[in-house]
Amino acid sequence: MTENSRIPVAGPSITELEAKRVLDAVTHAWYDDANRPIDDFETAFARYIGRAHAGCLPSCTAGLHLALAALGIGPGDEVIVPDLTWIATSAPISYVGAQPVFADVDPTSLCLTIDTVAACVTPRTKAVIAVDLYGAMPDMEALAAFADESGITLIEDAAEALGSEIAGRRAGSFGRVSVFSFHGSKTLTTGEGGMLLTDDPDLFRRVNVLRDHGRRPGDRAFNNFEVAFKYKMSGLQAALGAAQLERVDELLEGKRRIHRWYKDGLAERDDVSIYSSDNAGVVWWMTSAHVSPETGWDKDRLQAELSRANIDSRPIFRPLSSLPAYRETSEAARARDRNQVAYRVSPWGINLPSALALTQADVQRVCDEMIYLIDRRIR
């Protein structure tokens, strides 16, 4: 960025490789070759994550919807989600007529724990969606063991965690189903898009029927067996995704580098801390900061001042149970009493600019402005 240009909060890295692959798809991926980019991307992504099956989708939200529908979850069922996440994690639960239940999170990872999940389990609990928030991961092996013992299905929402690892396994390799986002803000992008992955062949066959209007794979007679959904990705998007995947190590290193720059830039502060992890395998999609309440700078005021300085930012998510979409429900009321960590950290958390185009000078400018605001501006 130039010295005074606006610093974006998120954005991709696109090179001539991506442009070349998309142009090839625009030119050639039609007729009998129409599915080639999609097949290539699904195969390569499944291999990268370490899953048997992968299906391209228009969004990660569609992946969660398909997963819940394919698992037969519906009215009368409950699905546990972290209270501190984007509504895209919980909305598909409502799509299938089930009830989202909001669990508290760990104060360091901002992810679910066995204890926070266990506090929400009832006889109606059918699944838990564990979110790898901002790239951090919960103890997935422990959650998987707890889910198995409790007869609950584990779904991994790895939308933001491409490249992160725990216990020697990549994000997206846990649970009966996992999902990713390829939104334009994500580390790997197709503009809009997502992916569903599973090792269960029967479940994947069911997903393939549901994502194509209830048609069985290979059907050319338009013989629909049920009313279902239209959840597919275009070949042009898949070509972009496959090209990005070829550069995945470079993209992940870019995210690691940005996180290091922020840690260095704010290392001497005791009133602003960068969310980090003891797990060296975490790749932070968004570098996030916790500002001490003693500074008086809640996230809304701090964002407004950063914006005046030509710096974009995002708030750490507000608890789902506080949103107008949910707050009048009885479950939200219970969650507000129960989820002390989510309500304690959210007001003081901010996502700092993490676009892959940022330079070290851009990051230092953000750090300098935050320090200036906290130390010198009238509060």
DSSP 71-106: TT--TT-EEEEESSS-TTTTHHHHHTT-EEEEEP--
Distance of CA 349 to the CA centre of its chain: 17
Q: Are residues 152 and 222 in the same domain?
A: yes
Q: Are residues 177 and 262 in the same domain?
A: no
Q: Tell whether the model's pLDDT for residue 3 goes beyond 90.
A: no
Q: Are residues 262 and 289 in the same domain?
A: yes
For the residues 12-20, what does the mean pLDDT come to? Answer: 98
Which residues are paired to 194 by β-bridges?
57, 181
Q: Are residues 235 and 254 in the same domain?
A: no
Per-residue confidence (pLDDT) for residue 2, from 0 to 100: 63
Percent of the chain at pLDDT > 90 equals 94
Per-residue confidence (pLDDT) for residue 36, from 0 to 100: 97
Q: Are residues 280 and 354 in the same domain?
A: yes
Domain boundary (215, 246, 277) is at 246
- For residue 77, being part of any structural domain is answered with yes
Q: Are residues 162 and 286 in the same domain?
A: no
Per-residue confidence (pLDDT) for residue 217, from 0 to 100: 84
- For residue 209, being part of any structural domain is answered with yes
Q: Are residues 369 and 220 in the same domain?
A: no
User: Which residue range is the domain that position 219 belongs to?
Assistant: 16-246
Helices (H) and strands (E) in the chain, counts: 13, 13
pLDDT 10s digits, 24-39: 999 999 999 999 999 9
Q: How many domains does the chain have?
A: 2
Per-residue confidence (pLDDT) for residue 4, from 0 to 100: 77
Distance of CA 27 to the CA centre of its chain: 32
Query: Which of 28, 25, 110, 88 has the alpha carbon at shortest distance from 285?
Result: 110
Q: Tell whether the model's pLDDT for residue 282 goes beyond 80.
A: yes
- The enclosing domain of 148 has a CATH number of 3.40.640.10
Q: Tell whether the model's pLDDT for residue 148 goes beyond 60.
A: yes
Alpha-carbon gap, residue 152 to 80, rounded angstroms: 10
- For residue 8, being part of any structural domain is answered with no
If pLDDT is split at 50, 70 and 90, which confidence band does 255 have?
A: very high
Cβ-based burial of 178 (10 A; exposed 0-12, middle 13-18, buried ≥19): buried
Per-residue confidence (pLDDT) for residue 377, from 0 to 100: 63
- Strand, helix or coil at 155? strand
- For residue 1, being part of any structural domain is answered with no
Domain boundary (218, 246, 274) is at 246
- The pTM for the full model equals 0.96
Q: Are residues 163 and 68 in the same domain?
A: yes
Q: Are residues 115 and 153 in the same domain?
A: yes
Cβ-based burial of 11 (10 A; exposed 0-12, middle 13-18, buried ≥19): middle
- For residue 11, being part of any structural domain is answered with no
Alpha-carbon gap, residue 16 to 31, rounded angstroms: 26
Domain boundary (196, 213, 246) is at 246
Token match 């809304």: residue? 300
Q: Are residues 48 and 89 in the same domain?
A: yes
If pLDDT is split at 50, 70 and 90, which confidence band does 98 have?
A: very high
Q: Report the chain's mean pLDDT, rounded to a whole number.
A: 96
- The enclosing domain of 269 has a CATH number of 3.90.1150.10
Q: Are residues 48 and 186 in the same domain?
A: yes
